């Protein structure tokens, strides 16, 4: 290594800080440095002291009408931030957004307070309200700063949430769950934000061993020799041009009392630590975010660290397929044929369509488990076509089983990590034909997100399966409510909620 990397670099710095979220009463709110005051766009102003003496006309003169997304700071001994609540009662998603807006408006304050009494009285469940508020505050204050000489972000030390006495038990449940989900999203963001030189496949495997030991996971790491013995031709083919070793990491969560009848879910994550495109070299403008091409594997790892705390009752096995995709004299060439685990051959017509090659190996391994999984879900930053189809705010899902697709959609709605199902249209399968191998790794010009999923579907061996393409949602270029600039950590919370609520599907 010819560059200097601080040996103390921590690829998961967000885990070093734990925000304290405490329940209080309305009387406790002014003890914080900043408190929120939610104001709707219509109707009377709240009857609290925060707006005492103010009128809607006076607030409007300051540019605040209560529209969703608006904030107005009112300095005092305690900073009061008026937060626009819009015209409709809060949902969990809109409350999460509103709390995030408050947190950003009070970005210099380490102690925050929120009164959820009115929100709950208006109909939002106390557990869901407290969960959303906890997530919104912590995720909005996230920053990745371990490589800066001076960290400027003010971390939240204490968040006080006020609820009525009768809602305290439910609210505490929401806080506890929100802290876990915010933590794993922060971890997934850390992994996506870490530069490829600082976080390679070996480093990520080492971190998985460390975190697995702390969270009740069995962790097995496979080095290059073990990968060769397993015949993982996709992973080895992508790694061929790299100076860095590949790693496959197998994670296993087993709930207490599990038997052969316990539902078994398999998760497979794409872990391309940096994607140059290989011989099919990416243009410079498309390469800048390719340190995040491992966010599928990051989401699998982060989500699985939460399963025990969330009380997951299914067995969950995860495969992280990790390497970088680099250009060198040893790199896989366009036109080469790779043999995937299980024997299927793939003609590589584009070395930048590498994610599906490593996922194929992982999916085959999942199907070979002695306790065959009841479903497989893979997650990957896979195609630009998904981005072109759905924009930057929605991930694509495809599935060979309607029940798996529905369970993924439910988890997406709960977490506000939005997905949209595309058709697994077998009429496009023709595009994957090869003259010299069983399959090509790309199809034609159009429907690339669908043909990528059809490629993966070739390896699932009739197991119910879902695919999440997070290429569009892996990052935001500027703060977007609770999504902080950089890696979004998309998929970690979604997979955790999906796995926790997982139900064995029937075969479609």
What positions carry a catalytic annotation? Answer: 282, 356
Coil, strand or helix at 467 = strand
Q: How many CB atoms lie within 10 A of CB 154?
A: 14
User: What secondary structure letter does DSSP report for 428?
Assistant: G
Coil, strand or helix at 402 = helix
Q: How far apart are CA 22 and CA 20, in angstroms?
A: 6
Tokens of 299: 């989401």
Nearest by Cα to 400 from 456, 446, 469, 473: 456
Nearest by Cα to 139 from 172, 179, 91, 79: 179
Do 196 and 298 meet the contact criterion of CB atoms below 8 Å apart? no
Alpha helices in 141-259 (DSSP H): 168-193, 201-215, 224-230, 233-239
Coil, strand or helix at 45 = coil
> What distance lies between CA 258 and its chain's CA centroid?
27
Q: Count how many Cα atoms sit within 13 Å of the Cα of residue 208 in the half-sphere of its side chain.
A: 31
Tokens of 461: 């061996």
What is the Cα Rg of the chain in Å?
Answer: 24
CA-angle at 92, arms to 89 and 96, nearest 5°? 105
- The helix or strand, by DSSP H or E, that contains position 220, with its residue range, turns out to be strand 218-222
Q: How far apart are CA 331 and CA 308, in angstroms?
A: 41
Q: How far apart are CA 216 and CA 494, in angstroms?
A: 20
- The helix or strand, by DSSP H or E, that contains position 268, with its residue range, turns out to be strand 264-275
Nearest by Cα to 304 from 371, 253, 248, 258: 253
Tokens of 244: 């860095």
User: What secondary structure letter does DSSP report for 14?
Assistant: G
Q: How far apart are CA 399 and CA 498, in angstroms?
A: 15
What spatial distance separates the first Cα and last Cα of the chain, rounded to whole Å? 51
Q: How far apart are CA 191 and CA 133, in angstroms?
A: 24
Q: How far apart are CA 450 and CA 66, in angstroms?
A: 42
Q: Read out DSSP for 392-425?
A: SS-EEEEES-HHHHHHHHHHHHHHT--EEEPP--
Q: How many CB atoms lie within 10 A of CB 118?
A: 16
User: What secondary structure letter does DSSP report for 506?
Assistant: P
């Amino acid at each position: 290594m010819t560059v200097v990397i601080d040996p103390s670099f921590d690829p998961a710095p967000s885990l070093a800080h734990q925000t304290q979220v405490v329940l209080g009463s309305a009387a406790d709110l002014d003890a914080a440095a900043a408190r929120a005051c939610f104001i709707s766009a219509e109707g009377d102003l709240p009857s609290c002291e925060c707006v005492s003496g103010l009128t809607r006309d006076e607030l409007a003169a300051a540019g605040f009408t209560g529209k969703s997304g608006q904030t107005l700071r009112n300095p005092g001994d305690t900073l009061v931030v008026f937060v626009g609540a819009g015209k409709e009662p809060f949902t969990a998603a809109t409350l999460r957004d509103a709390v995030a807006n408050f947190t950003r408006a009070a970005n210099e304050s380490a102690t925050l307070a929120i009164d959820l009494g009115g929100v709950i009285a208006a109909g939002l469940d106390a557990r869901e309200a407290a969960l959303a508020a906890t997530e919104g505050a912590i995720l909005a204050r996230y920053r990745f700063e371990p490589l800066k000489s001076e960290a400027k972000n003010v971390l939240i030390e204490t968040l006080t949430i006020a609820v009525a006495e009768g809602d305290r038990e439910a609210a505490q449940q929401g806080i506890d769950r929100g802290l876990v989900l915010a933590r794993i999203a922060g971890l997934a963001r850390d992994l996506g934000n870490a530069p490829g030189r600082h976080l390679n496949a070996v480093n990520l495997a080492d971190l998985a061993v460390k975190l697995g030991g702390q969270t009740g996971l069995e962790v097995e790491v496979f080095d290059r020799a073990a990968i060769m013995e397993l015949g993982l031709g996709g992973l080895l083919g992508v790694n061929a041009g790299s100076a860095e070793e590949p790693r496959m990491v197998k994670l296993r969560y087993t709930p207490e009392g599990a038997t052969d009848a316990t539902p078994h879910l398999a998760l497979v994550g794409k872990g391309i630590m940096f994607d140059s495109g290989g011989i099919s070299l990416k243009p410079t403008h498309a390469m800048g975010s390719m340190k995040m091409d491992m966010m599928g594997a990051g989401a699998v790892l982060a989500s699985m660290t939460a399963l025990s705390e969330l009380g997951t009752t299914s067995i969950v096995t995860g495969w992280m397929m990790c390497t970088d995709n680099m250009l060198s004299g040893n790199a896989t060439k366009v036109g080469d044929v790779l043999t995937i685990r299980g024997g299927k051959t793939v003609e590589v017509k584009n070395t930048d369509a590498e994610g599906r090659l490593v996922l194929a190996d992982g999916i085959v391994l999942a199907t070979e488990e002695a306790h065959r999984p009841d479903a497989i879900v893979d997650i990957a930053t896979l195609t630009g076509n998904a981005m072109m189809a759905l924009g930057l705010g929605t991930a694509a899902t495809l599935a060979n089983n309607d029940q798996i697709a529905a369970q993924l959609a439910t988890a997406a709605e709960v977490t506000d990590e939005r997905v949209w199902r595309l058709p697994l249209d077998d009429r496009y399968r023709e595009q994957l034909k090869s003259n010299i191998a069983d399959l090509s790794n790309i199809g034609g010009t159009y429907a690339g997100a669908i043909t990528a999923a059809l490629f993966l579907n070739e390896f699932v061996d009739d197991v119910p399966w879902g695919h999440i393409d997070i290429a569009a949602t892996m990052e935001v270029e500027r703060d977007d409510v609770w999504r902080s600039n950089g890696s979004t950590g998309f998929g970690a919370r979604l997979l955790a909620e999906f796995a926790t609520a997982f139900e064995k599907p029937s075969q479609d």
